[in-house]
Every structure is written in structure tokens, then in C-alpha cells.
Amino acid sequence: MSLLVVGLSHRSAPVSVLERASLAADQQTKLVQDSLAAEPATEATVLATCNRIELYADVDKFHAGVSELSTLLAQHTGVGLDELTPYLYVHYEDRAVHHLFSVACGLDSMVVGEGQILGQIKDALALGQELHTAGRLLNDLFQQALRVGKRAHSETGIDKAGQSLVTFGLEQLAGDTPVAGWAAGRRALVIGAGSMSSLAATTLARAGVAELVIANRTLDRARRLAESLTGLVAGAARAVPMERVAAELPHADVVVSCTGATGLVLTADMLTEALDRRAEHRAEGASGPGAAETVALLDLAMPRDIDAAAHRLAGLRLVDIESLAEAAADEPMAADVDQVRAIVSAEVAAFGAAQRAAHITPTVVALRTMAADVVAGEIARLDGRLPDLDERQRAEITQTVRRVVDKLLHAPTVRVKQLASTPGGAGYADALRELFDLDPQAVAAVSRADANGTRPDGGVGRPGAAAVQTDPKRGRA
């Protein structure tokens, strides 16, 4: 295993850099494809969220891999390499596994323990599978990360320490008042219909908003979301096209925005105009009895959807990624975090042992295949020397020879798998190949068969997990 992760997050970079380094879906696809095309990488995928971008790859060479992946991140984000480098972090092999498992458990999130990261890890795995850039290592790694994250949430109280960014953001807006009491009776405008916006809309609906308006570039998607929430909203839940956002702003008490736009969705001019119209409505008594004096804005997008100048406009209160990061830094960590860290450490050790053991499996299979060929050859020679053997006698002799070979190979193959699972155990595959003079191509053939879901003996392998070719010189994938 030569797993490498190069990335940056809210822990290593200021929001201004993260904002510039964010990637749209099509850019993520191109980054992964270019990463695989780079010589050091044999597998690749990207984990991109509102506060992190991490490139995962299986590389042949560490230093060349770091250089290539860093350069690709700079090229695709548009942030110069000299400017980006100070904010990048690099994790390799077991440390890379530990990092992803910690991320999956919410330990590295802006809000410790939040569970939405699991969906984003699932998306990263799906991207690699869709592009056929995730082989055995990344498939195993990300699937295990999802299991570890779910285990942490089910076996510990980490959920008490963490929440989604949506919940945390709304709590920051509500202050000392419970979100349900604060939101009740207000008019809410949610801009976007993706996973984060959908969560925000659902949270607000359950909190008792009087009206919920969902704006999205794809109107049908906004309509489906609005229809799904109609029964939860005290008043109406309706959908509008993005062109109607300016008209809806003066009537909204709460605005949550999380789109994939590369520019501002709500500019300072739009907000100023909305405040002026809102003041006119209040003067005319047309704003309704539940209208709030201050409009609450929650910007969960990266790059930002709402002009940062909103912080300076009277009548508005803006909570964005940057202010959420500051607030989260002051949040006390739950005692359960230590328990989650223990789970992560144990799972990293188990994953590493399993991967090291798996690397020797093709060699063991090739050895047993060679032994079976030797038995078959000797039985064929026996047939030539003793042609009068009946079928019962021949079967008994064949079975006896096979038992002898199996017993001779059992202890060394079991022991070599155990030894291979220990740190530094990859060399045992080399020793096995050298001692038994195994053909490197035969070992590689086992890996190819496993990649196709079948074994040379006609059995069925693990479908859906592409195997990485074994390097006969290094004894690893």
C-alpha cells in the first residue's frame, strides 16, 4: 500500500484560500482523470466539501507523487503553487488511512462529530468508481472509512458533540433561543436544492417556519423538495426559479444559501434594495405580524454565495463559513471524542494488517496453483508407467499425493499470511517467490483474475473491487 493524500482544509488554510480553491463537479472529474494520467498514480479520487479538498491516490513513488498531486491541485483550483503549498498537508500510508478514518468520524470537521461528511465520502468513492479510477485500495479504503464512521456514531456519543453545519449555523443565528422557538412563524428562503440546502429546508420546516420558499436553477428539483416538505411547514412550501430570488428577499426573515455558483448569488446591492423594500412593507403594515426586525442570513457555500459586505449592513445578520469556523473553535469537545479516537486507531491497525495480508494472497495462490500442476504432472507420468491402474486405485493415489502436498504447504502459507500482516511484512511475498522460483507472470495473473471477479481455479472472487497489479520486484500492489 502506497496511499497518498494531499489536501487542504479549514484547519490548514484560511477561508479566503479555501474559497478560491473550491472545485465544481466537472472540475473534480477532470482533476481525478488527470491525476490517474500522471505517472506516479495508479488510482485516484477526490474528497471535496465546503471546507476541504483532498486528493487521494495510490502512488508508486512518494516524492514524485507529492509533487505531481500538488501541481495538479494548483492547476485545477487556479491558485498558484507557490501560494497554495504553505497550506497543503500530506499524509502517507497508515497516516493517510488514519486521516480519512478521522475525517469519516467527524473528528476533523469544522463542527466535531457532524455526520454529513459520511455522505461526502460516499460521493468521493462513487466518483472514483464511476470514472474507474478507484481500484482495490481506494475501494477498500473508502468503504472501510464509511463503516468506521458509522461505527463511531453508533457506539459512542459523538453525535452529542457534533451536528451538521446547517444546525450549527442556525444555532449561531438563534443565539440563546432554541432554533425551533426562534424560527417559528418566520418566512424562510432557501437558495439551492442540493444536499446541504435540502437539509436546511427540512430543518427549518420542522422548526415551524410559517412559509418556506426554495429557489433553484433547476425548478423541477426545487418543486420536488418543496412538495416533500409541504406537510411539515406550518404554512406553504413553494418553489421559485432563481430569477425570483430578488423579489422574494424583502419577504424573507431567514435566508439560507448553498449553491455551486462560482460568483455571488446575493450581492450587497441586492441586499440593500431588499432591506429598503422590506422597510417600505413594514411602514405600510404589509410585512405581516410575524416579520422579524433583523434578517438572518446563513451562507454555507464555498465559494461564498452572499457578499461579505452584508456584515456591515444594518438590519442583517450574516453567519458564513468563516464565522462558523471561529465559533466552532470555541466549542468544547465531548468526552466521547477520546473513545472515537481509540476506534480510529484500532481500525487503522486492522486495515493495515488486512491490506498487507492481501498483498501476499496472489503469491500464495500462485504457489498452490504450481503445486497442483506438479501433482497433475506426476499423476500423468504415473498413468504412463502403470496403465493398468483402475479408477479407484488411481483416485486413491491422486488424493494421497494431494493431501501430502496440502499438508506440506499448509503451515508455511498460513504462517506467511500472518507474518505479512505485520508492519514490514511485504518482504515475505518476495521471499516466497524466490524460494519456490514462482513465475512473476503467474502471480500477476492471479491479480488480474481477482480484478475480474474470478479466480484461476474457477471460483468466484469479490465482485466490484478492481485489483491492482502486483509488482514482482516489490511484492506489493
Active site residues: 50
Question: Rg for the chain (alpha carbons), in Å?
Answer: 29
Longest dimension (CA), the chain: 112
For helices 321-329 and 165-174, give the axis angle rounded to 10 degrees.
Answer: 80
d(CA 273, CA 264): 16
| Nearest-10 Cα torsion for 309, 250, 185, 172 | 0
Element (H or E) spanning 49, and its range?
Answer: strand 41-49
Angle value at C-alpha 90, between 85 and 91, nearest 5 degrees: 175
> Alpha helix locations (H) across 252-335?
268-284, 321-329
d(CA 111, CA 301): 16
Q: Which residues, in sequence order, are CB contacts of 176 under 8 Å at separation 6+?
A: none
d(CA 189, CA 431): 66
Q: Which residues, in sequence order, are CB contacts of 52 under 8 Å at separation 6+?
A: 7, 8, 9, 10, 18, 103, 108
Q: What are phi and psi of 92, to 5 degrees?
A: -135, 140
Region of residue 6 (phi > 0: left; psi between -120 and 50: alpha; otherwise: beta): beta
d(CA 218, CA 345): 43
